[in-house]
Amino acid sequence: MKNEILFERAQKVIPGGVNSPVRAFRAVGGTPRFFERALGPHLWDADGKRYIDYVGSWGPMIVGHTHPAVVAAVQAAAARALSYGAPTAEETQLAERLCELVPSLERVRLVSSGTEATMTAIRLARGFTGRKLIVKFEGCYHGHADALLVKAGSGALTFGNPSSAGVPEETAAHTVVLNYNDTPQVREVFSRQGKDIAGVIVEPVAGNMNLVLPAAGFLEALREECTRHGAVLILDEVMTGFRVALGGAQARYKIKPDVTTLGKVIGGGLPLGALGGRRDIMEKLAPLGPVYQAGTLSGNPIAVAAGLATLQLMVQPRLLDRIEATTKALVEGLASEANKRGVTFSSQSIGSMFGLYFREAPPKSFAEVMQCDRERFNKFFHAMLERGVYLAPSAYEAGFVSAAHGDAEIEATLAAAREAFGRL
């Protein structure tokens, strides 16, 4: 099998054989697929097998793979230059479009990844407030910056401990980790330490511990406490931006953050991220202010071209409504197939994101996510893979549907699931 040969070869020169850990299939077992091409809702691996794709490059491919308009924009930009390291009109055009679509954005800085965006947002919150503490939530992932690779301590409201080797304890000590959706805990930590909190960073809809929706009042409480204590509210919309709604989860839930981080969709599949927000906060960034941030490839013209073309497609009338309906049909169909076969299973979706759980009801917290039957998911994953359906190779990741998925793909997926659930 060519996939196995390629994986063996890769492991000789790349740590674990992959350039991002979840790709290694360690969570589910087996050999990762090496892909050679993609079109619309489909992927083809090195052995020539076709898959219906529900990973979507982990979110960016909302209009489908290799959309002609996006490819044409990239080709035109590449014909002019691969990089300038200097300003372009298109960078401003993209920033203007982001401010237009996400009303909380008054100023935008383009970067090269979601991790870079969140790292900068944290530094900006500290530089703006002159404080050190950052509040995050267990199960929310914001990239691999040192201050954010932190897990909860042994007790409630404790300072975090490093969750990665190489992160100094003194760095982790400035991060407080709370339980997602625990509003009383949020209010308690602010009552104790509000004057020391520089900012709160949260996925408004969690997608990195599978899909977990915010409980009623949770996001509102974050906004209230940050306003009351002068802390910066950062919504990490790297994943949810243009997936949950055209204006992001903040538009859907009517929450106005101080700073927003974006990525994935805004690059159309190429490396691009952004942070934006209130003018007074954003103008603390160099060269106007004392908070330093720079990037050689920030605003890369090819990535910007892909992003502009993708966002232009996104504003088509009712496009997002159609993708949301397709996503809902998928999760409801999967739940029905599982129920018919007596398999303990639940599912949910929001916008074009979805979650699959081998438990009776969708989880509301990291602790409940951990109660899912991971071994059963792994068996289901491989059964679906065998039948040409590519899901995220982890029980703790959200899935994604694109505009290219239609009735045929949903029907084929449910047919595969019918057999997969039957094997469980």
The DSSP letter of residue 212 is B
Helices (H) and strands (E) in the chain, counts: 14, 16
- As given in the structure block, the two tokens for residue 110 are 């383009």
Contact (CB, 8 A) for 252 and 68: no
Report the alpha-carbon distance of residue 53 to residue 400 in Å, rounded. 8
Task: Kindly give the residue spans of alpha helices, DSSP state H, lying in 230-300.
Answer: 249-253, 279-282
For residue 192, the surrounding DSSP H or E stretch is helix 183-193
Catalytic residues: 141, 236, 264
Strands (E), 313-390: 346-350, 353-357, 389-390
For residue 236, the surrounding DSSP H or E stretch is strand 232-236
For residue 277, the surrounding DSSP H or E stretch is strand 273-277
Report the alpha-carbon distance of residue 231 to residue 131 in Å, rounded. 9
The DSSP letter of residue 245 is B
Nearby residues of 134 by Cβ (< 8 Å), 6 or more positions away:
122, 125, 126, 147, 148, 174, 175, 176, 197, 198, 199, 200, 201
The distance from CA 151 to its chain's CA centroid, rounded to whole angstroms, is: 19
Letter for the amino acid at 123?
R
How is the beta sheet containing 42-45 ordered, strand by strand? 35-39, 42-45, 50-53, 389-390
Phi-psi bin for 122: left (phi > 0), alpha (psi -120 to 50), beta? alpha
Taking the C-alpha atoms of 7, 10, 12 and 15 in order, what is their torsion angle to the nearest 10 degrees? -100
Phi, psi of 266 (to 5 degrees): -70, -10
Contact (CB, 8 A) for 259 and 234: yes
The DSSP letter of residue 395 is T
